[in-house]
């Protein structure tokens, strides 16, 4: 089920009314990422305010999620002695069938969920449609309502939760940020049609290749029986070939309609095993049946000879089966195209949970700051509407709006408006006007007073940790300057020194701490950067100010967010996001290897067990880092203590990226660029997927600028060349592989706005043309029918001819619809990261031993000896739409 945005507070208000301090605790499953961490902090503040007991459980991957289902969710089920309860997933489970992975579907029962309700907040796309349009407990079947759709609970229509819905019976509910209502109409219709469609085998005889008239006459009308609860329906071949009792047949495993099919070998355990072929056509789980033994489809007296007084003979069973098969294939194609469209990201979940707090009237500065940090971290990790991809500059003919396109710009503007509302600017005591320091463009480094905890807008330059590093180090380790000044080379370093010299800043001054630099130099820094930025192609290095004439009515586009904690500290949202990410990826006290010590593995016998247990121990260490980052979000001293960890990580990224580019270790394959990291002091750091992702984005941005300078434009229609980075985890004998898009993905809101009128006009014209063709065909068929009745020549062949004419018309209409849908899919999938689907294809085609456990499906683990074959097969796949 899905909860529309306008009802975002409905379920929480019910929880608020029904829970008390002695109720079972709400289980909160949280992904190990800054956005989910911030959302967890916001949500727990709401739960504490309402005295709702809760329990937080960090989840490192699908293996941890399945273990949480067995150890934590299963005891909540009513059939296992529990009293039901609520599970809230933050950044977890949007792309997999939660009913399967949490073991909520009991054998012999139809999606009962046993009183366990699951809320899913996730920004990963595509959605798993089993969660979105299914995932609810079914009402008992009756003679009137036997289909899956008609047995939905009260208040649920086509998976949509309405005002009349009453929680408490269990189910899976995803919180819609607007994408489901606006974009998934076609997928909804296809899913619901497939749910109630009987199984039918795609055999050759269905097309009449080996049929004869005698066989068709002797064929009996197939009858599909309504199954008992828990019994799966049989395929057509089972009905034809077997006459055994139904209970003697083995029960078929429920098929999922999601990418979870592709990772079951990984989430069923941590064993690294050879993958098995995966069905290419995902489809929804069979939830109910429709009977073909219906007066509207078959006639009980079909064997009686036709006469002039009787109505025309109904279509044969074989013709109906062919039509059913065509419908099934069309719907499965819609779902397959959706799942293979490519990975992308929607609204950050911290912003979704803040919307919930706003609906409840609970918003304040603390919650707003957590939301800003969560949104900023999404940008730092390259999570955009194009999937995991670098942010590249747009051309004059095709401007880009940066992270998340128009949608991201709207979100940032909403956050700036919230900052102004909750933090009014300081007024000057002389004339009652806003203090000029608010608009002077000076980067704030201190608070206004010892009690100042306000959030301010700041013209943050694209430097890294500028308040906590020297100006030189901050510029040197900035990915923006690294790519545009080519700092990996000696000539790039000279450009950086020349830029500082033109600004009048000596190397001695810029290498001391920024906080202790000359005050006049800090006041003039932004003006000097704007003056000389265009000489080095750094137009976006510093955002505009109101006095620049480029700002829209004081909106301060591109300005960042800064918060003070009295005299103790002043940090930007980017600073906090960088520190929290470093604590999750490196750890508070581990600045060295970032991997598990070999001493804890000495008791293990063979290499296979070492790899498996080592991977489990590694994920447990990542979970332990979660609590350090969780505490740092609200403890300014712990946050400041994490600054050296962030500096250490980004020094390692700079060294590794410089080495790879400077030594020309990045190879250009057919579909993407590729580099492998297998030696050096910093290699153990990149065994964490998020740290490796940051390195890949760092390198990818530099390669995009190189490509622009060499060719004058980016490849692949301005999206740049994708990049695959593999890092060796020596202790486990595996490579961690991450695939990033080239950048420049779709700005869906812009495309929708530009093409809406034209698309509506074309659709209306096609509908008129199709209606005219149908009228002509109906007139021809009516004339032929009258002529046959007058000549008394109505026979099977002429019936088939009439049926064929009608089917030709419907097929041509279906072809037109297919073309329109294909064009729509292409538009929606333009520029998306398809590495997840490409990885799954390679797994199905090769013998490579691969483990997919990350919630980012463009991150996999490959056995050391299988990497070469894996990359060779991957090079022939389409990795960006």
Give percent of the chain above pLDDT 90: 40
pLDDT of 291 higher than 50: no
Average pLDDT over residues 105-123: 79
Average pLDDT over residues 860-876: 92
Cα–Cα dist 671/72, whole Å: 43
Decide: 432 and 424 in contact? Cβ < 8 Å.
Answer: no
Give which of 586, 592, 581, 481 is closest to 538, Cα–Cα. 481
Q: How far apart are the first and last CA of the chain?
A: 29
Three state DSSP letters for 236-253: HHHHHHCCCCHHHCCCCC
Lowest mean per-residue pLDDT among 104-118, 553-567, 629-643, 650-664: 104-118
Return phi, psi of residue 213, to 5°: -65, -35
For 593-604, write each residue's pLDDT tens digit.
444 333 333 332
For 846-856, write each residue's pLDDT tens digit.
888 999 999 99
pLDDT of 213 higher than 50: no
> 264 pLDDT band (50/70/90 cuts)?
very low
pLDDT of 723 higher than 50: yes
pLDDT of 39 higher than 90: yes
Count the Cβ atoms, other than its own, within 10 Å of residue 168.
12
Q: Which tokens in the block code for residue 480?
A: 């923006």
pLDDT of residue 296: 38
pLDDT of residue 318: 83
pLDDT of residue 549: 40
Decide: 354 and 392 in contact? Cβ < 8 Å.
Answer: no
For 359-408, write each residue's pLDDT tens digit.
999 999 999 999 999 999 999 998 888 888 887 655 433 444 467 778 88
Cα–Cα dist 790/296, whole Å: 26
460: Cβ–Cβ under 8 A, 6 or more apart, which residues?
443, 466, 543, 559, 560, 562, 572, 574
689: Cβ–Cβ under 8 A, 6 or more apart, which residues?
736, 738, 854, 856, 859
Q: In what order do the strands lie in the sheet with 455-458?
A: 455-458, 560-564, 570-572
Structure-derived torsion over alpha carbons of residues 858, 740, 833, 94, reported in degrees to the nearest 10:
40
Burial class (CB in 10 A: 0-12, 13-18, 19+), 292: middle
CA atoms within 13 A on the CB side of 323: 15
Give which of 448, 485, 447, 446 is closest to 463, Cα–Cα. 485
634: Cβ–Cβ under 8 A, 6 or more apart, which residues?
41, 366
46: Cβ–Cβ under 8 A, 6 or more apart, which residues?
12, 356, 357, 360, 362
pLDDT of 492 higher than 70: yes
CA atoms within 13 A on the CB side of 608: 6
**β-pair type (383-384, 344-345):** unpaired
Three state DSSP letters for 816-850: HHHHHHHHHHHHHCCCCECHHHHHHHHHHHCCCCE
For 604-626, write each residue's pLDDT tens digit.
223 333 345 556 777 788 888 99
Q: Which tokens in the block code for residue 164?
A: 């009349």
Query: Strand ranges (DSSP E) for 303-349?
Result: 344-345
Give percent of the chain above pLDDT 70: 70
Average pLDDT over residues 288-314: 45
pLDDT of 152 higher than 60: yes
Lowest mean per-residue pLDDT among 40-44, 558-562, 716-720, 749-753: 749-753
Burial 106-139 (b: 16+ CB within 10 A, else e): beeebbbbbbbbbbbbbbbbbbbbbbbbbbbbbe
For 142-151, write each residue's pLDDT tens digit.
766 667 777 8
pLDDT of residue 713: 65
pLDDT of residue 146: 67
pLDDT of residue 550: 46
Instruction: Give residue for tokens 């999750």.
Output: 584
Q: Return mean pLDDT, the chain.
A: 77
Query: Degrees (nearest 5) of the Cα angle 633, 636, 640?
Result: 100
Where do the structural domains in the chain lie, given as residue ranges?
1-209+253-363, 461-554, 748-828
Give which of 367, 369, 340 is closest to 354, Cα–Cα. 367
pLDDT of residue 5: 92
> 353 pLDDT band (50/70/90 cuts)?
very high
> 232 pLDDT band (50/70/90 cuts)?
very low
pLDDT of residue 850: 92
> 190 pLDDT band (50/70/90 cuts)?
very high
> 300 pLDDT band (50/70/90 cuts)?
very low
pLDDT of residue 106: 63
Burial class (CB in 10 A: 0-12, 13-18, 19+), 386: buried
For 382-392, write each residue's pLDDT tens digit.
888 888 888 76
Decide: 286 and 328 in contact? Cβ < 8 Å.
Answer: no
pLDDT of 776 higher than 70: yes
pLDDT of residue 496: 93
For the chain, how many residues are written?
A: 881
pLDDT of residue 147: 72
Return phi, psi of residue 282, to 5°: -70, 145
Lowest mean per-residue pLDDT among 296-300, 424-428, 576-580: 296-300
Give which of 751, 754, 578 is closest to 653, Cα–Cα. 578
Give which of 30, 41, 647, 635 is closest to 372, Cα–Cα. 41
Cα–Cα dist 68/58, whole Å: 10
> 304 pLDDT band (50/70/90 cuts)?
very low
pLDDT of residue 630: 95
Burial 405-438 (b: 16+ CB within 10 A, else e): bbbbbebbeebbebbeeebeeeeeeeeeeeeeeb
Q: Which tokens in the block code for residue 402?
A: 């940066």
For 530-556, write each residue's pLDDT tens digit.
888 888 888 888 886 554 444 454 567
159: Cβ–Cβ under 8 A, 6 or more apart, which residues?
1, 2, 132, 133, 134, 135, 136, 152, 188, 192
pLDDT of 643 higher than 70: yes
pLDDT of 263 higher than 50: no
Structure-derived torsion over alpha carbons of residues 794, 795, 797, 800, reported in degrees to the nearest 10:
70
405: Cβ–Cβ under 8 A, 6 or more apart, which residues?
384, 385, 745, 746, 747, 748, 749, 750
pLDDT of residue 849: 92
pLDDT of residue 623: 86
Cα–Cα dist 570/574, whole Å: 12
Instruction: Output the CA torsion sign for 775, 776, 780, 781.
Output: negative
pLDDT of 736 higher than 90: yes
Average pLDDT over residues 664-688: 90
CA distances from 550 to 395, 416, 458, 554 (A): 19, 17, 16, 9
Average pLDDT over residues 747-756: 44
Residue 681 C-alpha from the chain's centroid = 33
pLDDT of residue 606: 35
> 693 pLDDT band (50/70/90 cuts)?
very high
Q: Which tokens in the block code for residue 282?
A: 């995902």
Instruction: Please report which helix (H) or strand (E) contains residue 676, including its range.
Output: strand 673-677
């Amino acid at each position: 089920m899905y909860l529309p945005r306008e009802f975002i507070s409905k379920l929480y208000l019910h929880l608020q009314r029904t829970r008390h301090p002695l109720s079972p605790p709400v289980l909160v499953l949280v992904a190990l990422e800054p956005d989910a961490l911030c959302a967890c902090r916001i949500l727990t503040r709401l739960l504490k305010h309402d005295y709702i007991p809760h329990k937080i459980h960090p989840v490192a991957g699908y293996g941890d999620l399945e273990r949480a289902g067995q150890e934590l969710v299963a005891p909540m089920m009513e059939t296992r002695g529990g009293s039901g309860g609520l599970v809230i997933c933050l950044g977890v489970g949007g792309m997999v069938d939660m009913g399967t992975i949490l073991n909520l579907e009991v054998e012999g029962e139809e999606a009962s969920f046993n009183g366990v309700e699951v809320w899913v907040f996730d920004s990963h796309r595509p959605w798993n449609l089993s969660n979105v349009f299914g995932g609810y407990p079914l009402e008992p079947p009756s003679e009137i309502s036997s289909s899956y759709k008609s047995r939905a609970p009260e208040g649920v229509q086509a998976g949509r939760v309405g005002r009349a819905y009453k929680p408490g019976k269990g189910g899976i509910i995803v919180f819609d940020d607007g994408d489901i209502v606006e974009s998934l109409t076609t997928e909804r219709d296809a899913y619901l049609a497939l749910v109630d469609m009987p199984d039918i085998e795609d055999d050759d005889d269905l097309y009449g290749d080996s049929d004869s008239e005698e066989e068709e006459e002797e064929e009996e009308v197939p009858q599909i029986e309504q199954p008992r609860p828990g019994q799966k329906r049989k395929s057509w071949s089972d009905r034809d070939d077997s006459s055994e009792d139904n209970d003697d047949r083995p029960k078929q495993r429920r098929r999922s309609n999601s990418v979870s099919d592709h990772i079951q070998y990984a989430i069923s355990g941590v064993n690294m095993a050879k993958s098995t072929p995966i069905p290419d056509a995902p489809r929804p789980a069979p939830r109910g049946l429709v009977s073909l033994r219906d007066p509207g489809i078959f006639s009980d007296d079909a064997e009686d000879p036709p006469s002039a007084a009787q109505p025309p003979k109904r279509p044969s069973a074989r013709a109906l089966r062919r039509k059913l098969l065509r419908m099934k294939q069309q719907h499965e194609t819609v779902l397959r195209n959706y799942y293979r469209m490519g990975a992308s990201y929607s609204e950050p979940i911290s912003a979704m949970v803040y919307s919930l707090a706003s609906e409840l009237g609970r918003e304040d500065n603390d919650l707003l700051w957590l939301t800003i940090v969560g949104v900023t971290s999404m940008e730092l990790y390259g999570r955009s509407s194009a999937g995991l991809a670098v942010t590249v500059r747009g051309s004059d003919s095709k401007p880009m709006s940066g992270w998340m396109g128009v949608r991201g710009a709207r979100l940032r503007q909403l956050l700036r408006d919230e900052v102004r509302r909750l933090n009014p600017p300081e007024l000057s005591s002389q004339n009652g006007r806003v203090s000029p320091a608010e608009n002077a463009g000076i980067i704030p480094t201190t608070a206004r007073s010892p009690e100042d905890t306000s959030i301010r807008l700041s013209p943050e330059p694209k430097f890294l940790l500028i308040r906590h590093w020297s100006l030189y180090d901050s510029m040197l380790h900035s990915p923006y300057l690294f790519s545009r000044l080519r700092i990996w080379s000696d000539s790039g370093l000279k450009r950086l020194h020349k830029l500082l010299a033109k600004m009048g800043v000596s190397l001695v001054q810029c290498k001391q701490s920024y906080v202790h630099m000359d005050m006049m130099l800090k006041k003039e820094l932004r003006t000097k950067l704007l003056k000389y930025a265009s000489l080095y192609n750094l137009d976006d290095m510093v955002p505009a100010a109101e006095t620049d004439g480029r700002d829209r009515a004081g909106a301060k586009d591109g300005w960042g967010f800064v918060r003070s904690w009295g005299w103790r500290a002043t940090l930007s949202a980017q600073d906090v996001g960088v520190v929290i990410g470093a604590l999750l990826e490196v750890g508070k006290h581990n600045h060295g290897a970032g991997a598990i010590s070999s001493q804890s593995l000495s008791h293990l016998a063979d290499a296979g067990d070492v790899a498996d247990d080592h991977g489990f121990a590694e994920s447990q260490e990542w979970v332990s880092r979660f609590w350090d980052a969780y505490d740092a979000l609200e403890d300014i001293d712990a946050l400041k203590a994490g600054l050296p960890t962030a500096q250490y990580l980004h020094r390692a990224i700079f060294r590794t990226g410089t080495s790879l580019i400077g030594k020309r270790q990045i190879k250009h394959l057919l579909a993407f660029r590729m580099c492998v990291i297998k030696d050096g002091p910093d290699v153990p750091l990149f065994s964490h997927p998020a740290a490796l992702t940051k390195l890949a984005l760092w390198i990818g941005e530099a390669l995009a600028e190189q490509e622009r300078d060499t060719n004058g434009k980016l490849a692949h229609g301005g999206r740049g060349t994708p990049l695959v980075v593999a890092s060796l985890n020596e202790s486990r004998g595996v490579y961690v592989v991450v695939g990033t898009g080239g950048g420049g993905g779709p700005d869906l809101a812009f495309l929708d706005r530009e093409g809406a009128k034209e698309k509506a006009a074309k659709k209306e014209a096609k509908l008129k043309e199709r209606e005219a063709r149908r009228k002509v065909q109906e007139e021809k068929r009516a004339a032929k029918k009258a002529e046959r009745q007058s000549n008394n020549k109505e026979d099977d062949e002429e019936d088939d001819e009439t049926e064929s004419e009608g089917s030709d018309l419907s097929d041509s209409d279906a072809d037109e619809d297919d073309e329109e849908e294909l064009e729509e899919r292409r538009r929606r999938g333009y520029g998306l990261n398809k590495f997840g689907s490409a990885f799954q294809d390679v797994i199905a085609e090769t013998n490579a031993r691969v483990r997919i456990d990350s919630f980012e499906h463009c991150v996999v683990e490959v056995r050391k000896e299988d990497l070469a074959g894996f990359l060779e097969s991957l090079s022939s796949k389409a990795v960006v739409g």
